[in-house]
Amino acid sequence: MLTRRGRAVAGIAALSVLLAATFGPRALNAVVAPAAVVLAAGYLQVRNTPDVTVDRTPPADAHVGEQRSAELAFQRRDGGALARPFLGDVTERVQAGLRPVESEAASVAERADGDAEITFRTAVGDEPLSYEVAYEARGQHTVGPATLTATDAFGLFEREIELRGTETTIVYPRVRRLGTVGRRSLGRLQEYSRSDQRGEFEELREYVPGDPLRDIHWKTTAKRDELVVTEFAAETDAESVTVAAGANADGADAMAEATASVVLGLVGDGVPVELSLPRGEMRVGPEYGGQQAMLRTLAVVESGPIPDPDADVVIKGLSDDASVDVRGSQHRFAELVDSRLSVDAARPAGVES
């Protein structure tokens, strides 16, 4: 098919034929002959473009806020290698939730449906094309299909080839490292999860939000004019902690982030967790794993009621944050985490993207 430039050249050549009929064949020799040559050459180049397929390497599963690379490799439809490169525009569709990163080699455009397209103006051959993808929203997102528009060296003809096929990438919720308040609050929970009995007295320390009121040492508090709590030693080995999570209609993202952070924080300290979500239950722990399965579930979990309001930890996702109830002690999730840490720093040990 002729491009806009090709139509212009063909139009000039046709006009020259009319001028030649009026003013003599000199105009035909000067314009029509070169135009006919480039049109014929361009047509043959595009006509001989081989049918190709794409082998797509999608970006790896990762967390919101991270960035990974994708790759497109080309070969003949019969499976053979391309004999020689040819010019073309390669356009890859990327679903919303993922965001292709613009570079010197590629441009990015928004689609009306919210997805994005990244386009390479390149020589299509044996060398693969790669691009970076930013992870903007949790979920299961698709890359592809792609379109290849082959052109001749003069830009006069083009041929569009649909490169069918898609690949899927899972975007996990962001995982935040717990700050001082969060570690204290869950640390006390870990202690009491070992046994409802108290161990021996260990020390007196300053009160931290999240400490149970029953642990306040009132006599020392009166003397110091500040809250002081009693620290007890644990008596037995850890038992599992129950965590239940739900969310309002627009709070699923906050619920997923808070749940991932709290559960992985507990597991990282050696405490197994019995997790219940609006649609399903699972066990996550240092001995029997489950972290990756939990992250995959939280990537797509939807809003719903809290399945176990009496759990040790009850998480409720709201539109702008999540509430975390640790055995009756209420917190905002934002109060429990260390906001200074990046996503990479926040990923718990042993959890790979």
Tens-place pLDDT, residues 136-183: 999 999 999 999 998 877 777 788 889 989 999 999 999 998 888 888
Antiparallel, parallel or unpaired: β 129-135 and 116-124? unpaired
Residue 213: partners with Cβ closer than 8 Å, 6 or more residues away: none
User: Is 197 a residue whose pLDDT tops 70?
Assistant: no
Q: Model pTM?
A: 0.75
- Report the C-alpha gap between 84 and 230 in whole angstroms: 77
Average pLDDT over residues 26-37: 65
* Confidence band of 346 (pLDDT split at 50, 70, 90): very low
Query: In the chain, what are the helix, strand and coil shares in percent, each to the nearest 5?
Result: 30, 35, 35
What confidence score (pLDDT) does residue 253 get?
Answer: 96
Q: Which fold has domain 52-172?
A: Immunoglobulin-like (2.60.40)
Give the residue with greater pLDDT, 175 vs 271.
Answer: 175
Give the residue with greater pLDDT, 52 vs 135.
Answer: 135
User: Is 93 a residue whose pLDDT tops 60?
Assistant: yes
Peptide bond before residue 145 is cis, with ω within 30 degrees of 0: yes
What confidence score (pLDDT) does residue 127 get?
Answer: 86
User: Is 102 a residue whose pLDDT tops 80?
Assistant: yes
What confidence score (pLDDT) does residue 86 get?
Answer: 86
* Confidence band of 27 (pLDDT split at 50, 70, 90): low
Question: Strand ranges (DSSP E) for 173-332?
Answer: 201-206, 228-232, 241-247, 273-277, 280-284, 313-317, 322-326, 329-332
Average pLDDT over residues 65-75: 94
User: Is 336 a residue whose pLDDT tops 70?
Assistant: yes
**Of the candidates 163, 127, 126, the residue with the CA atom closest to the CA atom of residue 145:** 163
- Report the C-alpha gap between 117 and 160 in whole angstroms: 16
What confidence score (pLDDT) does residue 195 get?
Answer: 45
Give me the percent of the chain exceeding a pLDDT of 70.
78
Give the residue with greater pLDDT, 198 vs 256.
Answer: 256
**How buried is residue 79: exposed, middle or buried, by Cβ count under 10 Å (0-12/13-18/19+)?**
exposed
204, 217 Cβ separation under 8 angstroms: yes
Give the residue with greater pLDDT, 71 vs 44.
Answer: 71
> Both tokens of residue 241?
């902690």
What confidence score (pLDDT) does residue 339 get?
Answer: 66
Residue 218: partners with Cβ closer than 8 Å, 6 or more residues away: none
Among 5-9, 329-333, 341-345, the range scoring the smallest mean pLDDT is 341-345
User: Is 19 a residue whose pLDDT tops 70?
Assistant: no
